Chains A and B, each alone.
Chain A
């Protein structure tokens, strides 16, 4: 049972373009949605997160758009740089809960 789905599995964009990574979830009880960034040989690290009471969260060149009714969200990476090449995981959890569910990840390659 995959509670959090991500697409595409891999994505290649040119330097300077906006990369769009998608995520959907099944459990309506989830109310916290972090995105983690992982570089090869390292563990994932929190990039940006949104709560279900908001429909948008920005931090630098990273923006989350959230649609509670449709149970989906997307991560936009504006002006992508080669250093943004990494795997991005969407995750979901309930406030006060302990389980954090991850999607299968999107591998992003930014070509110079």
Chain B
């Protein structure tokens, strides 16, 4: 078995601030994902990475940057936090089978 660890669990930022979320997996999976979860809107894909150093934009990539410098880690940066923004950011990984394995999320609040 393996685990996806997301840090921090809770993140409070100020408007305009640059914020970084981190994700580590020990499954040895090639593909990793960042999703944003808003109440009533489901999960929307921000970025995904097929392998180390690869980055692919999802449907919601504007306002975000991502980095995959190691196979085991995938970081997401909010380039300029929006006032009153509240969302949960979920990291996931996948190997050849279609199953996504998710972390427990980072809950972002912007004051």
A interface residues, Cβ below 8 angstroms from B: 6, 9, 32, 34, 36, 41-46, 49, 89, 93, 95, 98-105
Given contacts A32-B98, A46-B100, contact A98 B42 (CB under 8 A): no
Q: Which of B41, B50, B100, B104 contacts A100 (CB 8 A)?
A: B100
What 13 additional pairs, Cβ within 8 angstroms, besides A36-B100, A45-B102, A102-B42?
A6-B42, A43-B4, A43-B92, A43-B102, A43-B105, A44-B43, A44-B100, A49-B98, A98-B50, A99-B48, A100-B98, A102-B35, A104-B42
14 A/B residue pairs, CB under 8 Å, sorted by A: A34-B100, A41-B104, A42-B104, A43-B90, A44-B100, A49-B99, A89-B43, A95-B98, A98-B31, A98-B48, A99-B48, A100-B45, A104-B40, A104-B42
B interface residues, Cβ below 8 angstroms from A: 4, 31, 33, 35, 40-45, 48, 50, 56, 58, 90, 92, 98-100, 102-105
Q: Which of A45, A46, A89 contacts B42 (CB 8 A)?
A: A89
Q: Do residues B40 and A9 form an inter-chain contact, with CB atoms below 8 A?
A: yes
Q: Do residues B42 and A105 form an inter-chain contact, with CB atoms below 8 A?
A: yes
